[in-house]
Amino acid sequence: MNIGEAAEASGLSAKMIRHYEAIDLLQPQRRGNNYRDFSAHDVAELSFIRHARDLAFPLEDVRRLLALWRDRGRASAEVRRIALDHVAALEEKAHSLQAMAGSLRHLARHCQGDGRPDCPILDQLEAGAEPGETLVAAATFPPLARTPLSGPSKESAG
């Protein structure tokens, strides 16, 4: 099966499949013309990768999960641990985002949003977080390592 069919079958782009091969997530055979030749097994692995990515597992986790999946005799404990670590990371990120959204929503609620120039949102951005007031976000941020949202990564948040 050529890469185009494999892409369609797995729901991944051909581009990504080549990338996953380049980083050694899978090793499809090559034919005489140097075209990749995907077996049904390769396609199953690609689907696996896609489902794992759908759950936002980083590729390094995907690599480990794939290895465990391939290992018939693996212990499910290891899989479970990876999954729960990822759950924790996802939830931490989600909470952090929600804290930011909450702070910002709070500010926006006190902003007239009319033609006048006074705006608590800008005031807050100018002044920074007041102690005991809004902006819980920064506090929950630091320990977050994976799933690098475009937000700040500042460890130095003091």
Partner DNA sequence: GCTTGACCCTGCCACCGTGGGAAGCACCAC
Partner DNA sequence: GTGGTGCTTCCCACGGTGGCAGGGTCAAGC
| 67, 85, 153, 157: which one binds DNA (CB under 7 A) | 153
Q: Does 137 bind its own copies (CB under 8 A)?
A: yes
Amino acid at 33: N
Please choose which of its own copies, DNA, none residue 68 contacts, taking the beta carbon within 5 to 8 angstroms, the exact cut-off set by kind. Answer: its own copies
- Mark the segment that binds DNA (CB under 7 A) among 8-16, 68-76, 86-94, 101-109: 8-16
* Among the listed residues 22, 24, 33, 128, the single contact to its own copies using CB under 8 A: 128
Q: Which residue, 8, 6, 32, is CA-closest to 21?
A: 6
Q: Phi, psi (5° rounding) for residue 116?
A: -80, 155
Residues 6+ apart with CB under 8 A from 21: 27, 28, 36
Q: Which of residues 55-84 bind DNA (CB under 7 A)?
A: 58-60
* 157 interacts with, out of its own copies, DNA, none, CB within 5 to 8 A per kind: its own copies
101 makes contact, choosing from its own copies, DNA, none, with CB < 5 to 8 Å by partner type, with: its own copies
Return the number of other C-beta atoms located less than 10 Å from residue 61's C-beta.
19
Question: Should residue 13 be labelled a site residue for DNA when binding is judged by CB under 7 A?
Answer: yes
Binding status of residue 56 toward its own copies by CB under 8 A: yes
H or E, element range at 77? helix 76-109
Could you write out the DSSP letters of every residue in 106-129?
HHHHT---SSSS--HHHHHHHH-P
* Count of other CB atoms within 10 angstroms of residue 156: 7
Q: Please report, as ranges, the residues that interact with DNA according to CB under 7 A.
A: 2-5, 13-16, 18-19, 31-36, 53, 58-60, 148, 150, 152-156
